[in-house]
């Protein structure tokens, strides 16, 4: 393992994808700042760091599975840590298991600081990471991502910080989660041809390329309407309308997605990374809105 540079090791865990796991927690911390008292912020930061480590383990675990299954090959888009020969499968597997061990240890520590509900949430999250490749191969990846990087982080972070179950946090988990799922959906839409060759089934394959493009646009645009309606009916503070600052990259991504119809998969080769950037901006604006609201209360 020593022959690789630190930059290569960092690249192997796909840090560009970390907004998918980190931002739901950061938005939830903003939500707590705006509307809760007696918040254990140390636990919140702990949860944030731990989910990023879990995400890193999940990324490398998925890459190892995809390489073994033949889903990732020399002519596929996306991560090339294994297909380029930069890393061996044993190295990526060892990295994944090491990261998973660190994440599990961190999760146990946070559970001991809180209570049993966090143990159940943590087990569910760990199972999502471990079973994700197999579930993705059977068209369930989108559901797993929505649970692992939206619902569970939001509910778990609230509990870790307050020792209470606050289901109202789902009002912000849903829109953030839709954009997160769009990262995977854009990736799977691009890879329909090569995934079919590998004899797996993804949700994008089941609905077809044309429908997948429209679903992708739904996933990145409906969150803006969700937030607006939630503000209009008084569920969320008016400052949450700051998320509309992210509409421009969202529309740019939608135009990129529609280019698929004319130019094929190559037109959306970078759509997953662009969607991760959109998720970062959307969630950052939502988190900022809650922090501003909290300061002005």
Domain positions in the chain: 6-296
**What CA dihedral angle connects 86, 91, 180 and 161, to 10 degrees?**
-140
CB contact set of 101 (below 8 Å; sequence gap of 6+)? none
Cα 128 from Cα 148, distance rounded (Å): 6
Runs of H (alpha helix) within the chain: 6-12, 19-35, 41-69, 89-113, 116-136, 141-146, 152-162, 170-190, 192-197, 203-207, 209-232, 247-258, 260-263, 271-296
CB environment 22-51: b (16+ within 10 A), e (fewer) = bbbbbbbbbbbbbbeeebeeebbebbbebb
CA atoms within 13 A on the CB side of 106: 21
Q: What is the chain's pLDDT, residue by residue, as a tens digit (297 residues)?
A: 458 888 888 888 888 888 889 999 999 999 999 987 789 999 999 999 999 999 999 999 988 888 887 776 665 665 667 777 788 889 999 999 999 999 999 999 999 999 999 999 999 998 998 898 889 889 999 999 999 999 999 999 999 999 999 999 999 999 999 999 999 999 899 988 888 888 889 999 999 999 999 999 999 999 999 999 999 999 999 999 999 999 999 999 999 999 999 888 889 988 988 999 999 999 999 999 999 999 986
Predicted confidence at residue 19, as pLDDT, reads: 87
Predicted confidence at residue 87, as pLDDT, reads: 85
User: Which secondary structure element, helix H or strand E, spans residue 135, and what is its range?
Assistant: helix 116-136
Helix axes 89-113, 41-69, angle to 10 degrees: 150
Predicted confidence at residue 1, as pLDDT, reads: 46
Distance of CA 181 to CAs 41, 115, 124, 280, 288, Å? 27, 29, 18, 13, 22
C-beta of residue 34 within 8 angstroms of C-beta of residue 297: yes
User: Which secondary structure element, helix H or strand E, spans residue 290, and what is its range?
Assistant: helix 271-296
Please tell me the pTM assigned to this model: 0.90
Predicted confidence at residue 12, as pLDDT, reads: 87
Coil, helix or strand for 138?
strand
* Architecture of the domain spanning 6-296: Orthogonal Bundle (1.10)
C-beta of residue 121 within 8 angstroms of C-beta of residue 7: no
Predicted confidence at residue 74, as pLDDT, reads: 61
Predicted confidence at residue 130, as pLDDT, reads: 87
Predicted confidence at residue 97, as pLDDT, reads: 94
């Amino acid at each position: 393992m020593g022959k690789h540079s630190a930059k290569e090791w960092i690249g192997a865990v796909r840090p560009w994808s970390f907004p998918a796991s980190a931002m739901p927690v950061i938005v939830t911390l903003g939500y707590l700042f705006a509307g809760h008292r007696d918040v254990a912020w140390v636990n919140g930061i702990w949860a944030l760091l731990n989910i990023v480590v879990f995400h890193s383990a999940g990324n490398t675990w998925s890459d190892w599975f995809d390489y073994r299954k033949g889903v990732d090959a020399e002519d596929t888009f996306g991560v090339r840590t294994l297909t380029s020969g930069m890393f061996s499968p044993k190295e990526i597997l060892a990295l994944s298991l090491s990261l998973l061990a660190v994440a599990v240890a961190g999760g146990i520590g946070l559970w001991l600081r809180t209570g049993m509900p966090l143990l159940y949430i943590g087990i569910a999250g760990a199972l999502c990471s471990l079973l994700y490749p197999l579930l993705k191969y059977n068209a369930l990846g989108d559901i797993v991502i929505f649970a692992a990087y939206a619902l569970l982080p939001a509910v778990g972070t609230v509990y870790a910080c307050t020792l209470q179950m606050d289901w109202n946090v789902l009002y912000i988990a849903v829109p953030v989660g839709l954009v997160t799922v769009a990262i995977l959906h854009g990736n799977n839409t691009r890879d329909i041809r090569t995934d079919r060759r590998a004899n797996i089934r993804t949700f994008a394959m089941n609905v077809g390329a044309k429908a997948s493009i429209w679903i992708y646009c739904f996933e990145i645009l409906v969150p803006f309407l969700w937030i607006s309606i939630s503000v209009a009916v008084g569920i969320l503070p008016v400052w949450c309308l700051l998320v509309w600052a992210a509409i421009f990259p969202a529309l740019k991504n939608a135009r990129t997605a529609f280019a698929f119809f004319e130019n094929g998969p190559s037109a959306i080769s970078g759509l997953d990374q662009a969607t991760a950037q959109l998720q970062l901006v959307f969630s950052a604006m939502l988190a900022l809105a809650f922090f501003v609201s909290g300061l002005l209360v």
